[in-house]
């Protein structure tokens, strides 16, 4: 999941990333206009649920990290159980999405969605690395001019 991406000197908003992702996936999946609404309704529900699950887990994880390393074995067992429950819920959410999408588009497109998500994520991370590198070079050039 991409939380922040920086473009040159200004922050690229979550809305812009989501809009680009929508265009990207719509194009890659070659979604017909008649299926687009149903697809995006299911996909948005999936992403929102996944995001909430992730946020809830991060809150628990932060509490765990605040503790010192003298936590008991019982506490670590609870952390492991929480982690396993989180992973199971992610799989359950993906299963629900797959079931819904199989009703509105081909099984091949349903399968390819996950590949295209990974491709999109890699593309965005590459843009982030490139833009950070450019920003770093700009800052070095400014320093050298001083």
Per-residue pLDDT tens, the chain, 146 aa: give them: 444 444 333 456 778 888 999 999 999 999 999 899 999 999 999 999 999 999 988 887 776 655 556 777 888 888 889 889 999 999 999 999 999 999 999 999 999 999 999 999 999 999 888 888 877 777 666 666 66
Q: Which of 1, 20, 8 is nearest to 128 (CA)?
A: 8
Query: Model pTM?
Result: 0.75
Please measure the distance between the N-terminal and C-terminal CA atoms of the chain and give it in whole angstroms. 39
| Beta bridge mates, 5 | 12
Question: What pLDDT score does 7 carry?
Answer: 39
Burial class, 89, CB count within 10 angstroms (exposed 0-12 / middle 13-18 / buried 19+): middle
CA distance 98 to 125: 26
What Å distances lie between residue 74 and 71, 77, 80, 81, 142, CA to CA? 8, 5, 10, 10, 54
């Amino acid at each position: 999941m991409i939380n922040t991406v920086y473009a040159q000197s200004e922050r690229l908003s979550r809305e812009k990333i989501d809009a680009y992702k929508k265009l990207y996936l719509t194009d890659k999946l070659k979604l017909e206009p008649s299926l687009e609404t149903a697809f995006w309704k299911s996909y948005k529900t999936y992403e929102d649920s996944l995001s909430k699950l992730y946020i809830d887990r991060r809150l628990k994880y932060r509490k765990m990290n605040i503790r010192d390393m003298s936590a008991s074995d019982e506490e670590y067992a609870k952390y492991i159980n929480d982690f396993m429950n989180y992973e199971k819920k992610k799989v359950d959410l993906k299963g629900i999405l797959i079931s819904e999408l199989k009703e509105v588009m081909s099984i091949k497109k349903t399968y390819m969605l996950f590949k295209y998500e990974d491709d999109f994520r890699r593309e965005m991370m590459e843009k982030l690395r490139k833009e950070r590198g450019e920003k770093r070079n700009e800052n070095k050039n400014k320093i050298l001019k001083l």
